Amino acid sequence: MKNVFLPHSLADLWRHWENEPAAAVYAGGTDLFVKMRSGAINPPSLICLERIEELKGAEEKGDFIRIGSCATHAHLLENSLVRKHLPVLVQAIKVLGSPAVRNMGTIGGNLCAASPAGDTLPPLYALDAEVELRRQDDSRRLAVKDFLVGPGQTLIGQGEILAAVWARKADGYNLHHYEKVGQRKALAISVVSLASLVRLSSAGVVENVRLAWGSVGPTIVMCPEAEKALIGKRLTLETLRKAAVYARQAVSPISDLRADAGYRRTLAGNLLLRLLACS
Amino acid sequence: MVRFVLNGKDMQIDAPPDRRVVDLLREDLGLTGTKEGCGAGECGACTVLVDGETRLSCLMLAVQLEGRQVTTIEGLQRETGAGLHPVQEAFVEYGAVQCGFCTPGMALSAVRIIRRNPDPTRAEIREGLSGNLCRCTGYVKIVEAVEAAAWKMSNKPPEKPAKDAAP
Ligand SMILES: Cc1cc2nc3c(=O)[nH]c(=O)nc-3n(C[C@H](O)[C@H](O)[C@H](O)COP(=O)(O)OP(=O)(O)OC[C@H]3O[C@@H](n4cnc5c(N)ncnc54)[C@H](O)[C@@H]3O)c2cc1C
Ligand code: FES
Ligand code: FES
C-alpha cells in the first residue's frame, strides 16, 4: 500500500514533503496513473495537489494571465479571462482528451508531463509563457521553452512544484488558431499540431506572427525563418507556401505507431496553409 | 478513513488511500454497475459523477473522494425519485443498450450533458459522449436516446418536432 497525502494548502504540502521527500506529486492523475499502470514509474508514495486552493484559478497580472498549475482544463475552458485574452489556448484545450479527462487533467500536469504532443504546449510557446516554480523557501520563473528540455523532461527540481503558468495576453493578435491533426476527433493524441498567432494590419499585412508546432520534435518546435517569411506580407497561398518550406526544414519528426516522419514533416508545412482559411 | 457521500448516503470507509475508486466501488462496496474497460482513461466505462462532474474512477484514488458527493449508476434513479432516471428510460426506449458494458458510463455522461445544457444539439451530445466508447451500438441510438431524454426532462410536449430530429 502506498501512502497518499491530500494537502489543503502549500504549507501543508511542504510540511509533509519534507518528511517524505521521495513522494511523487500529482494533480489530475490522468498522466501519472497511466504511467504507473504501465510500470514506467513506481513512486513509493504520492501527494495529490488537487485541494490546494493557492494552485487554482486564473488572475490578471499586468500583461499576463497567471494560471494556477492545478486549474483543470474544464475550468480554463470556462474562465472568462482565459477566454478573452488567450483564445488559442482555449482552442487547444477544447480538443484535449475527452470531457472527463478535461474535468480531471490540469494545465500544470500537461506541462510537467512534457509530451511533445501535449496540447497546451504549442499555444504556451506561441504566447511566450513562463512557468513559476516553487519550493518551500523560494520561487523562480522560467520561460516555458527553457523549462521543457525533452520528451518527458523538464527542469523541475527535487522538492519543487510548478505553481503557476504566466501566459502573455494575446490582445495584440487578431488571428488565433490552433489545429491538431489526430487519428480521430476525440481522445486523439496529436500527430502534428500548430498554434498560430498573427497580427494583421487593416490592409491585411502580417505585422507580427508566432508559430509553434507540436509532435514534430523532442519538444515544441518554433521556426523564426517561417515567421520572418510572413512578416510584411499578405497571407496568400504563395507566401504561406514559402513559409511552409522553412517549417518543413525546422521540424525533426520521428516515426511511431501514429504516423511516419515524412508524413509529419509534410503536414507541419501544410497546417500553415490553413491560415488562409482563417484570415 | 475516507468520508464522502455515495448516492445520497454518508459513507465512512476504512480503505487504503491508494485504492482506486473503481476498485473501492466494485470490490469493496459491491457496486458493480461501474465498469472497468481499459483502466487507463480511454474508454469511459468507469465514469462516475463527483460533485456533479464526470470523472474516471480508474484514474482516481480513494483519498480523493474525501468530502465529495459521488453518484454511480446505482444512485442515478434516486435523483428523480422512484423508478428509472429519464436518461435510463430513454436508453431502454430507444434501444441504446446492447451488451450494456458502456451503458452506466454513457448514462452518467449523458446526465452531465443535459444538466449543463438542457437542449443539446446532436453535435453537442456527440462531443459530450466522446470519452465513452461503445463497441456494439454504433452510437446512433445512444445519441437519439440522449436527445429524447433531454427533451423529456425539459417538460416539452411528448413528441419532439421533426425538424429537430433530423440527423
Ligand atoms: C484518455 C486520455 C487522453 C488524453 N488526451 C490528451 C490529449 O489529447 N492531449 C494532451 O495534451 N494530453 C492528453 N492526455 C494526457 C493528460 O490528460 C494531460 O497531459 C493532462 O493535462 C495531465 O494533467 P494531470 O493533472 O492529470 O497530470 P498528472 O497525471 O497529475 O501529472 C502529470 C505529471 O506531472 C507531474 N505534475 C503534475 N502537476 C504538477 C505540479 N503542479 N508540479 C510539479 N509536478 C506536477 C506529475 O508528477 C506527473 O509526473 C490524455 C490522457 C488520457 C488518460
Ligand atoms: S476503465 Fe476507466 S476509462 Fe476505461
Ligand atoms: S452496448 Fe456494448 S459496449 Fe456499448
Domains and CATH numbers, chain B: 2-75 (3.10.20.30), 84-153 (1.10.150.120)
Beta strands in chain B (DSSP E): 2-6, 9-13, 47-50, 53-56, 69-71
Which of B34, B129, B139 minimizes the C-alpha distance to B96? B139
- Beta carbon of B91 within 6 Å of any ligand 3 atom: no
**Cα–Cα distance, A92 to A98 (Å, whole number):** 12
Write down the pLDDT at residue B77: 79
Domain ranges of chain A: 3-48, 54-168, 175-278
C-beta of residue A194 within 8 angstroms of C-beta of residue A179:
yes
A103–B contact, CB cutoff 8 A: yes
Q: How many CB pairs under 8 A join A and B?
A: 76
Question: B164 pLDDT exceeds 70?
Answer: no
Write down the pLDDT at residue B79: 66
> Residue B156 is which amino acid?
K
Who's near B23: CB < 8 A, 6+ residues apart? none
Write down the pLDDT at residue A184: 74
Of the ligands numbered here, which is closest to the C-alpha atom of B58?
2
Task: Determine the distance separating the centroid of ligand 3 and the alpha carbon of B68, expressed in angstroms.
Answer: 29
The β-bridge partners of A132 are: A141, A164
Cβ contact A101–B56 (<8 Å): yes
> Residue B118 is which amino acid?
P
What CATH architecture applies to the domain A3-48?
Answer: 2-Layer Sandwich (3.30)
Looking at the complex, report in whole angstroms how far the Cα of residue B128 sits from the nearest Cα belonging to chain A.
Answer: 6
Cβ contact A2–B127 (<8 Å): no
Question: B163 pLDDT exceeds 50?
Answer: no
What does DSSP say about strands B2-6 and B69-71: parallel, antiparallel, or unpaired? parallel
Write down the pLDDT at residue B80: 66
A40–B contact, CB cutoff 8 A: no
Write down the pLDDT at residue B160: 64
Per CATH, A54-168 and A175-278 having the same topology is answered no
Nearest to A1 among B16, B58, B64 (CB): B16
Closest residue CA from atom 9 of ligand 1: A96
pTM listed for this prediction: 0.96
Write down the pLDDT at residue A257: 79
Q: Which of B23, B38, B108, B130 to mutate to test ligand 2, by most ligand atoms within 8 A of the CB atom?
A: B38
Q: Which of A275-279, B86-90, B111-115 has the lowest mean pLDDT?
A: A275-279
**Cα–Cα distance, A245 to A268 (Å, whole number):** 10
**Cα–Cα distance, A5 to A50 (Å, whole number):** 11
Handedness of CA A103, B110, B101, B3 (dihedral sign): positive
Who's near A165: CB < 8 A, 6+ residues apart? A66, A67, A69, A107, A108, A111, A124, A129, A130, A131, A132, A144
Write down the pLDDT at residue A102: 98
Write down the pLDDT at residue A131: 98
Q: Which residues of chain A have pLDDT under 70?
A: 186
Task: Determine the distance separating the centroid of ligand 3 and the alpha carbon of B18, expressed in angstroms.
Answer: 29
Residues of A in contact with B128 (CB under 8 A): 99
Looking at the complex, report in whole angstroms how far the Cα of residue B162 sits from the nearest Cα belonging to chain A.
Answer: 28
Specify the fold of A175-278.
Answer: Enolase-like; domain 1 (3.30.390)
**Cα–Cα distance, A27 to A202 (Å, whole number):** 44
Q: Which three cell numbers stand for residue A208?
A: 507580427
Angle at CA B139, nearest 5°, toward B136 and B144?
130
| Helices within chain B (DSSP H only) | 21-23, 86-93, 103-116, 122-128, 140-153, 162-165
Question: B97 pLDDT exceeds 80?
Answer: yes
Where does the pLDDT of residue B162 fall: very low under 50, low under 70, confident under 90, or very high at 90 and above? low
Q: What is the CATH number of domain A54-168?
A: 3.30.465.10
Say whether A167 sits in a helix, a strand or coil: strand
Q: Which of A205-219, A256-270, B20-34, B94-108 has the lowest mean pLDDT?
A: A256-270
**Cα–Cα distance, A192 to A271 (Å, whole number):** 9
Cβ contact B130–A186 (<8 Å): yes
Question: B81 pLDDT exceeds 80?
Answer: no
Nearest to A104 among B40, B56, B112 (CB): B56
Q: How many CB atoms neighbour CB B108 within 10 A?
A: 28
